[in-house]
Structure 1
Amino acid sequence: MNRTIPRLMLVFLGVFALLSIGVVVWQVGWVRPMKECEAARKWWDHAERVCATPVLISDITGRTIQDKQAEAQARAAIGRPPAQAPAPK
């Protein structure tokens, strides 16, 4: 019997096993963290594999958003609760 067929079968079986392991590593290392990050309404960086928290520009500059509806929409877009009005004195 020709030994090429069993040898070729083992080569294909090895390639299949490597590809299967690669798919599992891809799912566990890249896809699952990305989905968890996006479910938490954060930013996922594919290059660095980092889940970052979005920041409002008004938090950086110190300026407040004058339009309350726009502020509520901006806070909802990054997953923060609406700002509370200061308690009366």
Structure 2
Amino acid sequence: MKTYRLELRDTTDGIDADLLDEDGLVETSTRIAYEDHGLEPAGDREEPSSTDREVTADVTTLDVQYERDGDGFTVRVLGDREELVTERVEDEEWGLE
């Protein structure tokens, strides 16, 4: 069993979704570009958002996927094609328009 941390970080032009191992090394990642979805950070937003989630699993393959639905993104971590953890990024909470 290994513990992984899903780290979502807001940047000026998108969201970096990294899955880190116990040593802080990136196992897999994906990038969500705001421009691809017609979004941009709100001008009055105070600071970029971020979130972390941990999951423990015994898997051989890992993947980070996302989908756009309604007013946000759903980011999923798959291990051996099974969903391990899901995190929701809402446009309003992250100051996107």
TM-score by length of 1: 0.25
Higher strand proportion: 2
Higher relative contact order (CA 8 A, sep 6+): 2
Higher helix proportion: 1
Q: Which has the larger radius of gyration?
A: 1
TM-score by length of 2: 0.24
